[in-house]
Amino acid sequence: MTLRTRISESLKQAMRDKDANRLSTLRLINAAIKDRDIAARATGNDDGVGDDEVLAILGKMAKQRQESARAYEEGGRLDLAERENGEILVIEEFLPRQLSEAEVAKAVDAAIAEQNATSIRDMGKVIGALKGRYTGQMDFGKVGPMVKDRLS
């Protein structure tokens, strides 16, 4: 079952359950995917986006909500922060399990060896290999400096 199908089934179930919060989050996810589909069609890709692109969309949405929740908490708006955290939980249902620090370090080392990376100039190849294999499973904002340290 594709990720898009799982999201659609969850949306239908949320409608049946009359779960308004979950339903609104799932609709936001669907809207983001459809926006990316339209953009893909403009470039000639009539099939729309695949699961890897959907994972990237979900990861971005989760990260945006984490930042918003943090800002709301700092501003004393705990009700809004709680709502953002609820949306994060729904989004994360569709994301693969996040890798631990040790697993990320091991994956980085393996990608460096696989790409025969020796200098900072090879960083793009290493990050590209990691993104191809671990999209949605690791935070690439943290992985970039880790790769840079190992290649320096």
Q: Is the dihedral of CA 107, 58, 149, 122 positive or negative?
A: positive
Mean per-residue pLDDT, 16-43: 91
For residue 10, the model assigns a pLDDT of 93
Mean per-residue pLDDT, 37-63: 84
**Segment among 14-18, 33-37, 45-49 with least mean pLDDT:** 45-49
pTM metric for this prediction:
0.73
- CATH class assigned to 101-151: mainly alpha
Helices (H), the chain: 3-17, 20-42, 51-74, 78-92, 101-114, 123-134, 140-151
The phi and psi torsions of 141 (rounded to 5 degrees) equal -65, -30
* Residue labelled with tokens 């409608």: 15
Domain boundaries, the chain: 3-92, 101-151
Looking at per-residue pLDDT, the higher value among 141 and 66 belongs to 66
Express each pLDDT in 17-30 by its tens digit: 999 999 999 999 99
Q: Cβ contacts of residue 83 below 8 Å, gap of 6+?
A: 21
| Average pLDDT score, the chain | 88
CB 23 within 8 A of CB 14: yes
- CATH class assigned to 3-92: mainly alpha
For residue 96, the model assigns a pLDDT of 82
For residue 134, the model assigns a pLDDT of 82
Q: Cβ contacts of residue 66 below 8 Å, gap of 6+?
A: 84, 88
Express each pLDDT in 51-60 by its tens digit: 888 888 898 8
For residue 30, the model assigns a pLDDT of 94
Looking at per-residue pLDDT, the higher value among 118 and 14 belongs to 14
Mean per-residue pLDDT, 33-39: 90
For residue 27, the model assigns a pLDDT of 95
Q: Cβ contacts of residue 25 below 8 Å, gap of 6+?
A: 86, 87, 90, 91
